[in-house]
Amino acid sequence: METTSKKSFITGEIMKSSVLGAFKKLNPVYMVKNPVMFVVEIGFILVLILAIFPNLWGDGDAGNLRLYNAIVASILFVTILFANFAESVAEGRGKAQVLTLKKTKTVTEAHVILPDGSEITKQANELVKGDIVIVRAGEVIPNDGEVIEGIATVNESAITGESAPVVKESGGDFSSVTGGTTVTSDWLKIEITSRPGESFLDKMIALIEGARRKKTPNEIALNTLLVSLTIIFLLVVVTLYPMTTYLNLNISVATFIALIVCLIPTTIGGLLSAIGIAGMDRVTQFNVIAMSGKAVEACGDVDTLILDKTGTITYGNRLAAEFIPIKGVDKNELIRAAWISSLTDDTPEGKSIVSLACKLNVNVTDEKKIIETSNPISFTAQTRMSGLDCQDGTKFRKGAYDSIKKMSIVAGFSLPKDLENIVYEVSSQGGTPLVVSKNEQILGVIYLKDVVKPGLKERFEQLRRMGIKTIMCTGDNPLTAATIAKEAGVDGFVAESKPEDKINVIKKEQGQGKIVAMTGDGTNDAPALAQANVGLAMNSGTNAAKEAANMVDLDSNPTKVIEIVEIGKQLLMTRGALTTFSIANDIAKFFAIIPAMLMVGLPEIGALNIMQLNSPMSAIISALIFNAIIIPLLIPIAMKGVKYKPMSVSKLLNRNLLVYGLGGIIAPFIGIKLIDIMIGPVLHMIGL
């Protein structure tokens, strides 16, 4: 996967803030939120007290007991710091982006248009929802809003990181503007849609800062498992104490605490929060804002992906390529009828029809007069046609084959014999046929070409290997939809789709227990985006779509949902892999500490000392050191995530068990032995 914006893993500023944050998080009020590391902190405090008062527990008069307790306390303290440091690094990477966004928030003057047409100046923070402002070239848009008049280019680099300006205009799905962006040409009249402090930029800052981050359901479940394991190991160690007392084994309290710390899942306990924060950060690196960690996590469980055809699977700019008249109709008559029916059509398709008619030098005169004296008929999802009613009573229409055919038959005209063949031919080539009529009489077909984006077939195959079904929704007729679906390689399609059809598809999939993701940018997509488990709205889309979704793509690239699904799966994989590694670690640490604790009084148990460590104290301290340093060593994996490769769930499970399960068992044996070799002689010199 390639990120749209890359940043270094850790900068000097992040390092500085993370070290400071690690100490700040030592506050028990904060630590209690992480039960595993809270147990370690309690252990540290107890051992620290015993280091100051070595005979407080009645462990005997061991001359070096104070030193041993001090070493154990130091290692436990470092373990806690490393865990806090991991979380601070994850938070620091998000806060670095927040600082950039906060620089975007400037005190901006807004030119407010009053009802009488006069203009006054206000500060941006004084604007209220519903105010009408005018923003001219070079001025900053004061707050989120919808363009109600004008057309201009807007520099959104402060939000998206992309330097190329985007065109904003009234109507359609590109009318939404974001506060803090700059108009680079012409002017826009904007209706403010958010209150001060509630803009999209404000929400981005709050979400990325992580101050309001809530634990996801999977994270809560895993946390419950870790707490359960911690309680179990606490009970095991507590029962060991009376057993060793009965056997007259003089084992210090510090050693029991060391055993608890090594057996409980401290590795994943220290990294769990960092993994969740880093998952949202990885999404942010793709210029996608997740409204919650739950949304990112849900991406990893997605079973079905709903995609619009236009702009997602195809480029979306369906251009008029040819005018095809039916038998007996003059081609020039068809072209002029198509031209008139498109004069007030501001869609790319309508503009392309007007442009092609002009290029063909057909009679396209009196444009201004026709527009001024005619009644425009707008396209709707119900009628699926548009056109003009001229002053002389002539009605020009263009639209979907079924809609125009039905209208023509109702008016008493017979269906042209070659019409169906023309429509079929255009559809079979992956084009969209628009049928043109004059006074309900069909004249011919406009051939609109729409091209499938290159490489999508391979990407959909990749999703199929991940076990994700893809469904394309399109307003095209079934034949066109089938052709595009086959060329793109999607698993299914919904033709002649209306807004309610998308919701029905989502509900049907959810009714089968599936997790559904979809993309959208228009107001009519908002209900479906809200219904989907993962709703990805385009930043270029309407505010209604962005409010309904739980993710917003700042680059407005609908196909990015594929990468987001991969990030979600990578998050779940990373959490599972490091949990497996952490629990597997405990096996090796068990073989390091238990024999070291008991073999002095029970020589028979020395058979378990398979690592042949130097001494009991060396074994315990080596295991504690390994337990501490493994946390910072795993921070890069927690931040970047385990590399994801599309494969079946069973293969993925076997691979992770082999790499992180077996690796989690082997690594401590090697690590603890190497540490023992290095510190053993030193401990011998100081009498431990």
Residues contributing to the annotated binding site: 345, 349, 379-386, 398, 521, 525
308 included as an active-site residue: yes
β-pair partners for 438? 396, 441
Give the type of residue at 184.
Answer: T
Quick one: which of 643, 626, 636 has its CA closest to 590?
626
Which of the 8 DSSP states describes residue 374? S
Known binding site for Mg(2+): residues?
521, 525
- Plot region of 499 (φ>0 → left; ψ -120 to 50 → alpha; else → beta): alpha
* Distance (Å, whole) CA 332 – CA 376: 22
User: Are the CB atoms for 27 and 649 separated by under 8 Å?
Assistant: no
- d(C-alpha 213, C-alpha 619), whole Å: 40
Helix (H) or strand (E) holding 285: helix 266-285
- Which residues does 26 contact at the CB level (< 8 Å), separation at least 6? 41, 80, 81, 84
Does an H or E element contain 217, and which? helix 217-246
Q: Under 8 Å CB-to-CB from 522, ≥6 apart: which residues?
A: 172, 173, 541, 542, 545
Number of residues that this document lists for the chain: 688
Contact indicator for 575, 216 with CB cutoff of 8 Å: no
The C-alpha atoms of residue 531 and residue 510 are separated, in whole angstroms, by 10
Q: SS3 for 526?
A: helix
Check residue 316 and give left, alpha or beta (phi > 0: left; psi -120 to 50: alpha). Answer: left
Q: Which of 232, 237, 234 is nearest to 256 (CA)?
A: 237
| Structure tokens given for 414 | 């017979």
Token pair for residue 550? 């739980």
Side-chain-side CA neighbours of 45 within 13 Å: the count stands at 8
Closest CA to 301 of 568, 663, 34, 578: 568
**Which residue reads 């599936």 in tokens?**
514
Residue 628 structure tokens = 């501490």
How far out from the chain centre does Cα 561 lie?
8
Token readout for 166 is 């985007």
Given strand 119-123, what is the order of strands in its sheet?
119-123, 109-113, 132-136, 187-192, 145-149, 176-177
HEC profile for 627-680?
Answer: HHHHHHHHHHHHHHCCCCCCCCHHHHHHHHHHHHHHHHHHHHHHHHHHHHHHHH
Catalytic: which of 59, 173, 281, 308? 308
CB-hemisphere CA count at 13 Å for 464? 12
Count Cα neighbours of 583 within 13 Å in the Cβ-side half-sphere.
Answer: 14
Question: Would you name the residues annotated as active-site residues?
Answer: 308
